[in-house]
Amino acid sequence: MADKKKRRRADSDSNSASQPFKNLLKSDAQILQILKSVTSSSSSSTSKPLTLADLALSSTCREVSDLSLSSVQSTIESLVLQLTHQILSGQGFSFTVPSRSSSNQLYVPELDRIVLKDKSTVRPFSHISSVRKTTITAKILSLVHQLCLKNIHVTKRDLFYTDVKLFQDQVQSDAVLDDVSCMLGCTRSSLNVIAAEKGVVVGRLIFSDNGDMIDCTKMGMGGKAIPPNIDRVGDMQSDALFILLVEKDAAYIRLAEDRFYNRFPCIIVTAKGQPDVATRLFLKKMKMELKLPVLALVDSDPYGLKILSVYGCGSKNMSYDSANLTTPDIKWLGIRPSDLDKYKIPEQCRLPMTEQDIKTGKDLLEEDFVKKNPGWVEELNLMVKTKQKAEIQALSSFGFQYLSEVYLPLKLQQQDWL
C-alpha cells in the first residue's frame, strides 16, 4: 500500500515537472468566475464608438462606406460620363485616384486605427508610365459595372482570369480593385468582389448564413468556413465569455480537437496566417454584436504582432476602409517575449531572429500604434534585445496539450494580457 502511494506521488511530481506551472491552476469554476467578471465589464460599456466625424483633425481624411449595387452602378456611370466630357473637351483621358502610399496614411490615437488622408494622384492614359494601369482601371470598372447589372458575386481570382494578358499578375488586379473602391467611395464588398474562403470559426456561436442556421459547436475539428460575403451573416447568438483570435491553423486545430471552447466557453477564430478581409469583417461583427472581449494568441515574433495590429488598427493597404475592418481593443494574450523565460521555454525550442526580423521589430517600435501601448513597447524591446523568437508550437515541448491544459487556462486565470 505504501509503495502505491509512493508511486502516485512520484507520478504527480513527474507530471508537474513535465507540465510546469500546472500546480498554480485554480479550479475551472474559479477561472470561469474570473472570466465572467471580465466579460460583464466589457459588455456593460455603452459608450458609442468614436468616428472620424467626431474628431476635429488638422488633416482631411477619406473613408468609404457600404453602398447599394444601384449606388455603385450610378457612381460608375457618372464617372464614365465625366471621362467622356474630358475627352470631348480635349483634356485627354485620366483617372484621379486616391493615393494609398505610406505618406498618405495617418494613425489616429483617438480611434486607435490607421486612416487614409485626402491626397490623390492623376493616372493619365496618354503617359507611357501609367497607360497600362489606366487601362486596368478602366477594365476593372467595366467588370464591376457588369456585376452590378447582373447582381452576382465573383472572386478576385475570377476577375483576374477575365484578362490574364492585361493583368499579368493577380497582385496588380487586386491593387487596382482597391483603387476603384477608393475612387467610388465604397467598401470592397460593395463591389460584389470577394476573396476565396480562408478563415474558420469554431465554438460557442450560432449564426445564420444566407438563411441557414449554423451551430459552430457541431462543426468538428475543421470548424465553419467564414463566409466571404459578410452581408449574408446575421442572427448571432452566443453564451461565450470571450473570443479567442488565433494566428495559426496548427494552434487552432489543437484547441478545436481538445474542445477548449467547452471547458472555457469561447469562440475560436483564425485566418490561418495573414488576416483576410472576410475574417476581419466577421471578427468585427462578433465583437460589436456580442459585446465580448477579444484575446489574441500569436507567435512571439515581429510578424505575430504585425498580424495582431492588422486586426486591431488596420493595414496600410486598406486604410481607406479601416472603420469597417478594424476590431477595437484586442488584448495580446500570448505568446509574448516575456513568456519565453516566464514559462521556461527550452532553448532548443527558441529560434534566433534574423537580421530582417530585427529590422521589422525595430520598425514596429517606430509605429505610433505600438508607441501608444507601453506594454507592447516593453515586449518588443525585449524581443529585439534577446534576439529570440518562438512559435506557439514551442509550448508542445511540455506536451502536445500544454497549450490548452495549462498555458491558456493560467493566462486566463491571471488575466495576463496587454
Written as nine digits, the cell of 203 is 465554438
DSSP state of 403: I
Q: Which of 387, 160, 417, 162 is nearest to 308 (CA)?
A: 417
Q: Which of 253, 194, 242 is nearest to 219 (CA)?
A: 253
Written as nine digits, the cell of 381 is 524591446
Q: What are phi and psi of 124, to 5 degrees?
A: -85, 145
Q: Are 223 and 216 in contact (CB under 8 A)?
A: yes
Q: What are phi and psi of 233, to 5 degrees?
A: -95, 135
Spatial distance between the Cα atoms of 167 and 173, rounded to a whole number of angstroms: 6
Spatial distance between the Cα atoms of 93 and 62, rounded to a whole number of angstroms: 24
DSSP string, 270-332: E-SSSPPHHHHHHHHHHHHHH---EEEE--BSHHHHHHHHHHHH--GGGGGGHHHH--SSEEE
Spatial distance between the Cα atoms of 148 and 143, rounded to a whole number of angstroms: 9
* Catalytic residue positions, numbered: 161
Distances (CA, A) of 343 to 22, 339, 400, 407: 11, 6, 15, 8
The answer to whether 367 is a known ligand-binding residue is: no
Q: Are 92 and 86 in contact (CB under 8 A)?
A: yes
In sequence order, the 6+-apart residues with CB closer than 8 A to the CB of 295 are 242, 243, 244, 245, 330, 331, 333, 417
Q: Are 345 and 390 in contact (CB under 8 A)?
A: yes
Query: Residue 56 CB: number of other CB atoms within 10 A?
Result: 5
Instruction: State whether the Cα torsion 234-237-243-245 is positive or negative.
Output: negative
Q: What are phi and psi of 257, to 5 degrees?
A: -65, -35
The answer to whether 299 is a known ligand-binding residue is: yes
Q: What are phi and psi of 44, to 5 degrees?
A: -80, -10
Known binding positions: 247, 299
Known binding positions for Mg(2+): 247, 299
